[in-house]
Structure 1
């Protein structure tokens, strides 16, 4: 420690403590909490899950109630199978639906559960059978642009006006 004073060592220690404090604050306030207590594991099959990864939120009415714990492809149907861990204190009706939603144009995706009205409750390991897959913004935009370019027709393509009902076309 030649040439180093006690003041420099203390300043370095203070900087490290402040950095550790910021890291602790970021981790505790990130919204990515682990679920305490027993949880409920559910699965759901989707046509497509664009941009949804393990760790993404599962929400009911906008409130986080769980997270995605896994994803795989069903080799028989080629559907994406999501595994979700839900708060065990919730009683999810068996006719509930799951849809993949987005937080906005540039936001992340999450699974939104919409509770049904059935008296039967999903048990641990149950499957949500009513699902709505992710909507691809690029696909929608492509369809819109295609429909706009194909929508304008030129004369001779059937785009002219038809004669009014009950009138005969004029003869030369």
Structure 2
């Protein structure tokens, strides 16, 4: 047994150091990217007419900076809108008249909820609901609409002067 420890002790120690370093990097990345929801987060609700592209753990941002994440999403049976629960950072006060929109960074970017702060001196608190929302845009529907549209008014023989004939008798 002592021969095995002498022979492979250095390799085992290096392997242990690699495992510890990997765990350290994972914890550091988790903290830097805002992974998880803070235990003391403020939970608010928001109703969206369309929530395409948003899932649980999607980001909630103000001016491009992450301030929270989506905790749950479910269909509201009364309004047929998507009721989302958002967990927001309690250190960032969000005015109570703020609005929310589903947007993305780019054409291929992931979707997130963008909060636009209002001007109220009162702030959102636990259990409040944002009603001023804008759902996600159906990109495929917009592309299809653009491709299928003529881009202008169609000319008909009655309004096209190049097809008029001279009916004068000789």
TM-score (norm 2): 0.77
Q: Alignment RMSD, CA only?
A: 3.1
Q: Aligned equivalents of 2:121 and 2:20: distance in 1?
A: 54
Structure 2: segments with no counterpart, 5+ residues: none
Match of 1:125 among 112, 123, 127: 127
Q: Aligned equivalents of 1:127 and 1:94: distance in 2?
A: 9
Match of 2:33 among 30, 33, 42: 30
SS in 2 for 1:17: helix
- Paired residue total: 164
Over 3 Å counting, the alpha-carbon distance change for 1:124 and 1:18 in structure 2 is closer
Confirm whether residue 55 of structure 1 aligns to residue 57 of structure 2: yes
SS in 1 for 2:149: helix
2:103–2:111 Cα contact (<8 Å) kept: yes
Aligned match of 1:12: 15
CA positional deviation for 1:2: 10
2:37–2:87 Cα contact (<8 Å) kept: no
Aligned match of 1:70: 72
TM-score (norm 1): 0.77
Q: Aligned equivalents of 2:80 and 2:147: distance in 1?
A: 30
Aligned match of 2:156: 158
Structure 1: segments with no counterpart, 5+ residues: none
Q: Aligned equivalents of 2:145 and 2:93: distance in 1?
A: 40
Runs ≥4 in structure 1, deviation > 6 angstroms?
Answer: none
